[in-house]
Amino acid sequence: MMNYNPFDDLAADYERWFVENNIIFQTELLALKQAIPPWKTGVEIGIGSGIFAEKLGVRYGIDPSESMLGYARKRGLDVQKGIAENLPYDSESFDFAMFITTLCFVNNPEQAISEAYRILKINGEVIVAIIDRETRFGEFLEKGKEKSRFYKYAQFYSAPEIVNLLERHNFKMSAIIQTLADPATFSVESPEEGYGKGSFVVVKAVKA
């Protein structure tokens, strides 16, 4: 991940954002729950404060931000300080690995996906959630990221770019789920298949 992690200084703001934007959070969780395999052992790469992992039943995770990991440890999660490009886990040790709006902060996404492939068991699954750059909300964030506390250093991707990235590393696509067609919604949205409509996209693929 990047040498400078903006979340070192923004951990408390990050936590507060999810409280203030609970409808968005619950909408994203609903989409992610469709992708998480039940009764499997998973790891979140870029676990941050652990706010997603806790709700999704994912115990393990890594993150480069010590201040974010402090929150994750308070949630009882088994976390380590580390980067996506050099995971501190043995090969073939997890059933699934997830990146939740993490790849946009990774220096070398190719290496990060390669490492995810390495730590997954045969037929293990990778789950990549992004804010799709090619949606209205993605375009809005891209245009305003220089003024954003959270996204100033982000590199946003489109859903097809994530699909291509995974396929280049021998993953076989299994599902694409989208939600947040309206980020200003006042109620939790139901996820749909595909991409292009929802700004939050979850791409799921299997280790071939």
Instruction: Tell me the residue type at 81.
Output: K
pLDDT on residue 5: 62
Asked whether 157 and 135 are in contact (CB, 8 A), the reply is no
As a residue count, the chain comes to 208
pLDDT on residue 147: 74
Distance of CA 164 to the CA centre of its chain: 17
Domains and CATH numbers, the chain: 6-207 (3.40.50.150)
pLDDT on residue 142: 78
Asked whether 126 and 98 are in contact (CB, 8 A), the reply is yes
Apex 41 CA angle, 37 and 43, nearest 5: 95
Give the pTM: 0.93
Q: In the structure encoding, which two tokens stand for residue 84, read together?
A: 């996506």
pLDDT on residue 4: 52
Segment-wise mean pLDDT, segments of 10 residues, the chain, 208 residues: 61 89 95 95 97 97 95 97 97 98 94 98 98 87 74 86 98 97 89 96 96
Asked whether 205 and 129 are in contact (CB, 8 A), the reply is no
